[in-house]
Structure 1
Amino acid sequence: MSTANPTRQDLLQEVRFLKSVGMSRAPLLGRLGIYRAMDLLFFFPRAYEAPAPIQGVELFTNGTQVTFVGTVQELDERVTQNGKHMLGVQIAADGGGFVRLLWFNQPFRKDSLKPGTRITATGLPRSTVLNWEMVQPQIRLLEADEVPEGRRPLAIYPLTEGLKAAGMRFIMQESLPDLIPLIEEVLPTELRERLGVLDIASALHAIHFPDSLAEAEQGQARFKAQELLVLQLALSLQRAAREGSAKAPVCEPSGKIHSRILNRLPFQLTQDQATSVAEIGRDMARDIPMNRLLQGDVGSGKTVVAQYAMLLCVAHGCQATLMAPTEVLARQHAGTLDRSLASSRVRVALLTGSLSTRQRRETIERVASGEVDLLVGTQAILSDEVVFHQLGLVIVDEQHKFGVMQRAKLRTDASQPHYLVLSATPIPRTIAMTAFGDLDVSTIRSKPPGRAPVHTYVAPKDSLDSWWRFVEEQLKQGRQAYVIAPRVAEVDPESDVASAEGFYEHLRKQVFGHRAVGLLHGRMDGADKESVLEQFASGDLDILVATTVVEVGIDVPNATVMTILDANRLGLSQLHQLRGRVSRGTHAGFVCAVPTSGCEPQDNARLQAFEQSDDGFELAEMDLRLRGPGDLLGTSQSGLPPLRIANLVDDAQWVALAQEVAREILQQDPNMESPAFAKLKQQTLRRYGESMQLGDVG
C-alpha cells in the first residue's frame, strides 16, 4: 500500500501506486479492466484449483502435484546466461529428504524465506540426480508451532498476455489484506440474514483466500445474491416510476366490445388464449401503461391474441401499431389483418423501408391525421417522421430482434401507449425474471386444435439422395417444401457451408429440374421477396430455398416438409422456430436436420435435443444451458446486463430469492429512503442508472 495507515481514499488510488503492481504491471491489469485498487477487490477468481494432499518426499512421483511441509535450510541466487534472476531455496522436508525450490525473476521472495522458516509448498516435483526440485511452487509461511492442515484451494484468475497466474496471485496476496477492511458494507445486517450471506469483508476474504472450497462458495454466494438483488431493485424501481408518472388511454373491454371483437376473430380461442386476452384486457382497462410479454410456442396462436388487443384499442378511438423484425413478416401481418378486417371499418396500413417516396409520405400523412387505425411495419415506424394522431397500443413481434432502446422509442413524455411484446421463442424462467423482469408475462402453451404432428430426423449429408426421394413423394401428394441454408452465397469456393444461392441452382438443375423452385433471402428487395412469397403461398412454387429469413411468422399451411442444411450451426431455439413453419395445418410435417460434414449428430447435444423434443419451453431451457443467456437472445439485443459473477443457468435459486427480497424491500420502503438502504440504493442507481430502460418494453 502507499501509506502506513490505509484509508478509504486508498481504494480509489491507481493500481500503479501499489507496491505489488508498479508501472510495469499496471497496463496489463488495465487490459483486464483493473484501474483502481478497489477494482482488484471485485476481480473475482474464475475457478479454484483443489488442494493437493500433504505427502512425504518418499511418496513423490514425477509430474504429480503434491503439497509437502518443511524448513528452509539455505538460499542461493544467481543470474543465468540469458539474464534471468534465479532464486534457489533448499528445504528439509518433514519426515526426511530434501527438496530444492526454484523461482525465476522473483528476488523479493528471499526476504521472507529466512533459514529456519517453516513452510508448506505445492507444485510439480521433478527428480534430479541429487534430490527433488519444484519450479515456481506455491508456498505458505507457517507459524513456529502451526500444524498444517493441508493446502488451501488456489484461486485461478482471468489473465492477459504478459501476466502469469503466479504474478496475479502475488498481486492479490500482497494488496488485498490491506484493502479488504476499507470496503464499506452495502447490505444491512437484517438483509444479510434474510439472504443468508456473509458480511462483505468476510466474503471478500473467502472468495480470494478460501481455506476450503466450501468457504469459496460462501464468498461467491454473497456476491451473486448482491448482484442479482441490485438488478431486481433496478427493475422494480423503474417499474414503479413508470406506473407512477405515465398515463395511458383507458381501453376497457366492456361486454359489448369484447363480444364484437371475438366475433371478428377467425376461430374460437383456446383456454390459454382466453386467459391471455383476459390479462391484457385488465391491463388496458387501467390508465397505467400495460407492459406485458406474451410468449408462446410456435403455432400457439399469439397473433390472434395480439389482434384482440389492437381491436380493443381501436374500439376506444385510439391507434395501434404492430412492429415486426423483417419486411417479409410485416407484409404477412398486414395481409392477414386486411383479410380478417375486410368487412369492417378498421383501416390498416403498411409502412416499410421499401415503399416508394410517395407511398411513404401518404402513409405517414394518413397516420398523423388519424385516417389509419392499425399501422403495421418494420423499424421504419420508429422514424422521427412518423407522428401518430393518438397512439394507444404498441405491439412488438419477435421482441428479441429489436434493441432495448428501439423498443422504447415510441414511449415519450407526450405519448404513453400500452405495450405488448410477443415472443415465439419461449423465455427461460431465469431470463424472464432478469432481462424481462419489468414485464408481466402471459404464456400460451397449448396449440389450436387440429394441428398435425411434426416428425423430426437428423441425418448425415450422404443420406440426402434418399431424403430428396422422400421429398419428391410428398410433393407428388400436393405438399410443398422448404430448404434452409445458413448463408446467402458462397464465401469461399472451398467451404463446405451450404448457401441458399448455391443449393437453389443445385436443386433446380440437378435434383428437382421438373419442379418449380424459388429463392428467398434477406438481400433481395422487398418487391422480389413479396413476389416469391406470394408464389409459394399460392402453390405456384413447389420448393422454396431460403435462408433463416423464414424463421419467424411465415405461414403456408400446405408446406409440410423442411430440410435444414448445416443444422449444427444454428441454435436450438432457432431450429425450433424453423420447424414451426411446417406445423401450420392439418397435414403431418417432416423436418430433416443435416449437420455439416464431419460433425457427428450423436456428438451434437443441440441436434439430439431437437430430434427428441418438440416442446419449445423445454428446448429454450436446454438452449440456455448449452449456449448461455447472451447467445440465446443475442447479448447486444436482449438488454441483458453483464453479470460479473452470477450465472443465470446455475443460479436460478438466487434469482428467485433476489426477486422476492427486492419486492419485500420496496413494499416496506418504496423509494428506499431509509438510511439502512442508502448504500444499496446508491449502488443500484450507479450500476443501472443509465440503462433503466432495461427490462422495460421488452
Structure 2
Amino acid sequence: MRPALLNPLFAPVTSLPGVGPKQDKLLRYLLGRSETPRLVDLLMHLPASVIDRRARPKIGEASPGTVVTLEVTVDRHRPSPPRNSRAPYLVYASDETGDVVLTFFRAKPGYVDKLLPVGAKRYVSGTLQFYDGMPQMVHPDRIVDEAAFAQLSGIDPVYPLTEGLALGSLRRAVGQALQKLPALPEWISPEVIRRCKFPPFAEALHRVHQPVELTDILPDGPFWSRLAFDELLAGQLALALIRSQLRRPAGDRNAGDGHLRRKIIDALPYALTASQREAVAAITDDLRQPVRMLRLLQGDVGSGKTVVALLAAAAVNEVGKQAALMAPTEILARQHIKTIAPLAERAGLRVAILTGREKGKERRDILARLAAGEIDLLVGTHALIQEDVVYRSLALAVVDEQHRFGVRERLALTSKGEAVDVLVLSATPIPRTLVLTYFGDMDVSELREKPAGRQPIDTRAVPLSRLEEVMEGAGRALKSGKRVYWICPLVEESEAEGTEHLTNATQRFESLQKHFGDAVGLMHGQMKGSEKDRVMAQFASGEIGLLVATTVVEVGVDVPAASIMVIENAERFGLAQLHQLRGRIGRGSEASTCLLLYREPLGEMSKARLNVIRETTDGFRIAEEDLRLRGEGDVLGVRQSGLPGYRVARSDVHGQLIAQAREEALRIMKKNPRLTGERGEALRCLLYLFERDEAVPLIGAG
C-alpha cells in the first residue's frame, strides 16, 4: 500500500485549476504516459534552461535584442481599428528616460485594458526591439503590478515542450503542483547528506523549478543532483531487495553429473570457445552453491550464448528439473528454438515453444506436458509467465535481452518455481556502470571470441547520392546467387512526422521490386508472426535473394548464406543497433560486406558513430563508445539518451552517484532489511515516490 502521505502527489494533473482535457492529452504525450499524468510526473519533468529577467535598465538605456524588465507608467491605448483585425493593439508607456510601445496582435477586447490600466505603474518583461527608431516589446512575457513583482525571482525556467502546449501554462501547472508537495521524511542517511552536501528533497525540487540563481537548474548542481541521487537510490534499493530475495538459501541444488551436457557438446559441429567453456563452468558452479544464481552472460552477436544457455538447462535437467528461456519477441524465441532443438534431440531432451501463436488444443497440450514434467526446456515470450502456465519443477529461468523486460516479468518467471536460478543473456555488451544500474551487483560472464569460421565483415560508409551504384551492385550480387539484406528505418510515412527524407521499407521494396521482380521480399514489425516466418523461410531457402526489412531483423535472425547488408539512413541508428544489424551477416563461410548509406551533410555525432562502426567489430568497444557518445538510453535500445526507466538521473552527469547509491542501498539492507522504524517508513515513501514499489512485497518475505 502506498503511504497515505504521498496521495496528493498521485492526484491526476486534471485536478489542477486550468488543466483540462486538451492539456491532459498534450501532457500525456510530453511525459510519455498512456493515462492521465499525476502531479509527481509533472514535478519530475525538469527545466532545460532559464530566462534571466533580472536586467532592469531604464527605457533609454536598454539594449535592443535583450530580455529586460521595465518599470513603466501606462500612458494611453491605441486599439486595432474595427475593420482591420490584423493591425496590432498598441499601448504607449514611459519612464523618466523615454517611451516604449507594447504591441499585441489579435488581442481580445477588454483583455489589454485590464492588464494595463491607463495611469497605473506596471512591470513588463520581454525582448526589447527597435521599430522605426522606437523601443518596442511585442507580447511581453510578463505584465505584473508591484505586489506580484515582489514575488518573482527574476529567473524563469524553460521546459522541454510539445507542440500546442504553452510554456506559461506548463509553468503555472508546475507551480500549483509544488504547492501540493507534502512534508516528506528524510530518507538519505545524515552522513551521505553531509558528504554530498545535499539540500532537503523539497528545497531541491523548489529550487530546480523556481530558480533563485541561474546555476540552480544545472544537472550537476546540488539541487538536481539531490533528486538524481533519490531516484538512483530508489532503483538500487529495489534491486537490492530483489537480490536479497534471490540470495536466500536455496534447498536442493540444481546441477547433475554432466551426462546430458557431454551429449550436447558431442553433437556440436564445432568445439566450444574458451570463454564458452569458462561461462559453462561458472554457471555449473553457481548451480551447486547453496544460494540462487543471478548471472549475466553477455556476448556479442553470434558468440554462442544460446548454446551456453542450453548447457545450463541441461545441467538442471540432469537432476530431473525444468528450465525456461524467455525472449522479448517471437522472432527471437523461434530463433533460439531453431538452434536448440536439433542439439537437444541428440541429447534426448524434450523441448517446446510457447508464444502468443500457440493457441487452443496445441497450447493446452503444451501446458499439460509442462505440468506433468514431460517438457525439459520451454522456450517462449511473455506467454511463459501467464497465470495458467504451471511448471512441474522449474529450476532455471533464462531471460534474454533482459533490459526489454521489467522487474515484474523477471519476478513473475522466477515465482513459477522454488528457489529458481536466473541466467540473463544480453547481446548488447553492457558497460560495468550500467550493469550496476540495471541489475545490481550481478555476477558477469563474457563471451569474447567469435565462433570459429566466422568471416570478417568489410564495412563502408557510402553517401545516398550513390544509391544507383549500390542498387546495381545488389543486382550483380543477386545474379551470382548471394543473399542481401536491405534495412530501412521506417515502415511507412505515418510512423513519424518530420522525417520526410527517410525512405520507408514499403517504398524501397516497391522500387527494388521494379528492378529485380520476385527476387525481393519485405518484412516489418507490423506483419503477423506467421507472415514474417514465411518471408524469412523464403529468404533462408534462397527463394527470395533480397530482403527489405526494418530493424525486426536486428536480433536473433540467422541466415548464414546472407553476406551483404545495406543499411539505409545509417546516420539515424544508434551504434549498438548498427552493430546488432551488421551481426546478421558474416555468419557463413564467405566474406561479407556492410554498406552504411547516409544522407549528407553528416552531423558530428553521426560522423563519430559511423567511424566507430567502420573501425571495429568488437561489441564491447562499441558499447563503451556508444555510452560515451550518447548516454545509455541507446546502449540499451531505448530511444532517448539518459537512463531508461529514470526521469531525473543522467549517466553523463550522475555516473558517480550510481555507485554511491548502490553502497547506500547495501548498507540499508545490512542494517534494516525489513525497512522498519522511522527511516524504514521514509525509505518506503522513496520507493513509492519513484515507482520502484514492485520490490515492496518482497520486504522480509520468506
1:223 corresponds to 2:227: yes
d(CA) in 1 for partners of 2:357 and 2:11? 53
1:372 to 375, 380, 390: 375
Question: What secondary structure, in the 3-state scheme, does the structure 1 residue paired with 2:484 have?
Answer: strand
Deviations 1:490-541 (A, max 9, x none): 989xx9865667656655663478xx65565667777776566556545665
Q: 1:563 to 1:234 in 2, by over 3 A?
A: same
Residue in 1 aligned with 2:243?
239
Per mean C-alpha deviation after superposition, the further-off stretch among 416-425 and 500-509 is 500-509
Name the residue aligned to 1:510: 515
CA 1:266–1:439 in structure 2 vs 1: closer, same or farther (change >3 Å)?
farther
Give the match for residue 600 of structure 1.
600
Which residue of structure 2 aligns with residue 49 of structure 1? Answer: 51
Which stretch shows the higher mean deviation, 59-68 or 304-313?
Answer: 59-68
Match in the other structure for 2:394: 391
Query: What does 1:670-685 align with in structure 2 at a 5 Å threshold?
Result: 670-685=673-688
Select the residue among 320, 323, 326 that pairs with 2:326: 323
Q: Give the drift of 1:222.
A: 1.7
* 306-315 vs 629-638, greater mean Cα deviation: 629-638
Structure 1 gaps of 5+ residues are 1-7
- 1:480 paired residue number: 483
Name the structure 2 match of 1:213: 214
Contact 2:394/2:420, CA 8 A, preserved across alignment:
yes
Provide the rounded CA distance (Å) in 2 between the counterparts of 1:529 and 1:14.
43
1:647 maps to 2:650: yes
TM-score, structure 1 as length reference: 0.75
- State whether structure 2 residue 203 is matched by structure 1 residue 198: no
The 2-side partners of 1:316 and 1:238 are apart by 26
Matches within 5 A, 1:292-307: 292-307=295-310
Residue type at the aligned position of 2:294: N
Gaps of at least 5 residues in structure 2 are 29-35
CA apart distance, 1:309: 0.9
Per-residue displacement from partner, 1:559-598 (whole Å, max 9, x unpaired)? 2111234545654433322210112244321012335xxx
- Aligned pairs (5 A) from 1:624-643: 643=646
Compared CA separation, residues 76 and 229, structure 1 to 2 (3 A): farther
* CA gap 1:169/1:397 in 2 versus in 1, 3 angstroms: closer
1:192 deviates by 0.9
Contact 1:225 1:658 in 2 (8 A): yes
Give the percent of matched residue pairs that are identical in Structure 1 and Structure 2.
Answer: 37
Q: Which residue of 2 aligns with 1:291?
A: 294
Q: Distance in 2 between matches of 1:472 and 1:167?
A: 56
Residue of structure 1 equivalent to 2:32: none
Of residues 417, 422, 427 in structure 1, which corresponds to 2:420? Answer: 417
- 1-side partners of 2:396 and 2:686: how far apart? 34
Alignment RMSD (CA, Å): 5.3
**C-alpha separation in 2, matches of 1:547 and 1:10:** 43
Tell me which moved more, 397-406 or 656-665.
397-406
Report the counterpart of residue 577 of structure 1 in structure 2. 580
Q: What is the deviation of 1:86? A: 9.8
Q: Does the 8 A contact of 2:632 with 2:651 survive in 1?
A: yes
The residue aligned with 2:457 is 454
1:664 CA displacement: 2.7
Distance 1:175 1:502, change over 3 A: closer
> What is the CA–CA distance in structure 2 between the aligned matches of 1:501 and 1:170, rounded to whole Å?
45
Distance of 2:206 and 2:520 partners within structure 1? 66
Q: Structure 2 vs 1, CA of residues 66 and 500 (structure 1 numbering), >3 Å: closer, same or farther?
A: closer
Secondary structure of 2:414 counterpart: coil
Match of 2:665 in 1: 662
Instruction: Tell me the CA shift for residue 270 of structure 1.
Output: 3.7
Where 1:459 maps in the other structure, the secondary structure is: strand
**8 Å CA contact retained: 1:485, 1:565:** yes
C-alpha distance after superposition, 1:656-680 (max 9, x if no partner)? 3322322233233323335345323
Count of paired positions: 660
Distance 2:170 2:644 in 1: 27
Q: Distance in 2 between matches of 1:167 and 1:455?
A: 53
Question: Does the C-alpha gap of structure 1 residues 281 and 91 become closer, same or farther in structure 2, counting only changes over 3 Å?
Answer: farther
Rate the CA distance shift 1:477–1:59 in 2: closer, same or farther, 3 A.
same
Q: 1:88 to 1:418 in 2, by over 3 A?
A: farther
- Tell me the TM-score normalized by structure 2: 0.74
C-alpha distance after superposition, 1:29-68 (max 9, x if no partner): 8775999999987664342235776766565333333467
CA–CA distance in 1 between the matches of 2:42 and 2:328? 42
1:63 to 2:73 alignment:
no
Inter-CA distance 211–415: structure 2 relative to 1 (3 Å threshold): same
Mapped to 2, the partners of 1:545 and 1:156 lie a distance apart of 43
Q: In structure 2, how many angstroms separate the alpha carbons of the residues matched to 1:381 and 1:365?
A: 14
Indicate yes or no: 2:542 matched with 1:556. no
Q: Give the 3 Å change call, closer, same or farther, for CA 51–650 of structure 1 in structure 2.
A: farther
1:28, 1:160 within 8 Å by CA — same for their partners in 2? no
In the alignment, is the contact (CA less than 8 A) between 1:197 and 1:222 conserved in 2?
yes
Q: Note the C-alpha offset of 1:419.
A: 2.5
Describe the shift of the 1:163–1:403 C-alpha distance in structure 2 as closer, same or farther (beyond 3 A): closer
**5 Å matches for 1:149-164?**
153-157=155-159
- Deviations 1:110-151 (CA, angstroms, capped at 9, x unpaired): 99x998x9x9x75423457997455636699999xx9xxxx9
Alpha-carbon deviation of 1:251?
1.8
- Higher mean C-alpha deviation, range 226-235 or range 626-635: 626-635
Q: Displacement of 1:450 after TM fit?
A: 4.3
SS of the residue corresponding to residue 485 of structure 2 reads strand
Question: Aligned with 2:297: secondary structure?
Answer: strand
- Higher mean C-alpha deviation, range 653-662 or range 623-632: 623-632
Q: 1:313 aligns with which of 312, 316, 321?
A: 316
Please list, as runs of the form range in 1=range in 2, the aligned pairs for 1:432-471 lying within 5 A after superposition.
432-437=435-440, 440-471=443-474
1:230 is aligned with what amino acid?
A: A
Q: Please tell me the residue identity of whatever aligns with 2:674.
A: N
**What SS is found at the alignment partner of 1:456?**
strand
C-alpha deviation, 1:470, in angstroms: 3.5
Residues in 1 aligned to 2:460 and 2:449: alpha-carbon distance in whole angstroms = 24
Counterpart mapping for 1:110-259 below 5 A: 123-127=126-130, 132=135, 134=137, 136=140, 153-157=155-159, 165=167, 185-200=186-201, 202-216=203-217, 217-244=221-248, 247=250, 250-252=253-255
Q: What is the alpha-carbon distance in structure 1 between the residues aligned to residue 490 and residue 216 of structure 2?
A: 49
Q: Is the 8 A contact 1:101 1:137 kept in 2?
A: no
Matched with 1:5 is none
